[in-house]
Amino acid sequence: MRVANIFATSAAMLLCFSSAALYADEKISEAETLLFETNHLKKITKPEKLHYIFVKSGTLEQSFQDDVQVSIDKITPDGGKYVTTEFFSGPKRINFPPIEEAKGNPVLVFFLERDIREMERLTGGRSLYFRHRIRMALADHAEVRSVKIAYDGKEVDAKEIKITPYLNDELKDRFGRHVGKYYLFILSDKIPGQIYQLHSVDPDGQPGQSGTVPPLIEETLTFSAGEKRAAR
């Protein structure tokens, strides 16, 4: 299975989520279209900084909150964007590469890449496996529904995508308490950059258990504001 091309970049990390050329004959799912075939930055016509708040909580490890900023630094005459990202601050900061000619919002892939690194650390699994499971879940098993979100003092239309990549995999027994992990992606074309919220929940077991059991790990990245910047 594949996830279609999102960014024009040579970074191998991003290419792991952009193998459309190998699977051109396959139908692209609605979830893939929303996440990876949509120009999230199309409506941004001037340099702008998008602010997000990241919150980690749960019973397994220490909670924390930090900021993520996506800067549309330059816009070419044909509408291409040069984008840089500040993912966390201080010692937690992750150095992700700038993106040239970006169309998709890179905060999506960077959130997933950080998540995959964490899954490697927690389970001893390999990043290629986790990327593959996420790709397959988006292509074959994603749940997509229409929702409303609060933005700029009003309710606006949005789409929510849910995947549970590991639950039905033949290797699931290797991941114990992490097998029921699921992801929620909420997008709306009414907000700058279109990514409203990215949410992963590790519920300490399989879905369907009592909702009173606190999750092992819950991580949420939520759009906070967009800020116009002076052109450079």
For 9-63, how does the pLDDT look when each residue is reduced to its tens digit (9 = 90+)? 334 444 455 444 344 456 899 999 999 999 999 999 999 999 999 999 999 999 9
Cα 223 from Cα 212, distance rounded (Å): 27
pLDDT at 144: 98
Single-letter amino acid, residue 158? A
Does residue 84 lie within any of the structural domains?
A: yes
Does residue 38 lie within any of the structural domains?
A: yes
The closest alpha carbon to 31, from 150, 187, 196, 155, belongs to 187
Does residue 199 lie within any of the structural domains?
A: yes
Identify the three-state secondary structure at position 5. Answer: coil
Are 179 and 125 in contact, with CB atoms under 8 Å apart? no
Residue-averaged pLDDT of the chain: 85
Please give the tally of structural domains in the chain.
1
Residue 210 has pLDDT above 60, yes or no: no
Cα 157 from Cα 159, distance rounded (Å): 7
In the chain, beta strands by DSSP E: 48-57, 64-75, 81-87, 99-102, 143-151, 154-163, 182-187, 195-202, 217-228
Cα 104 from Cα 8, distance rounded (Å): 10
Does residue 5 lie within any of the structural domains?
A: no
pLDDT at 1: 33
The domain of 103 spans 12-228
Does residue 4 lie within any of the structural domains?
A: no
Task: Name the residue with tokens 């995947």.
Answer: 163
Q: Give the model confidence (pLDDT) of 61-101 as tens digits.
A: 999 999 999 999 999 888 889 999 999 999 999 999 999 98
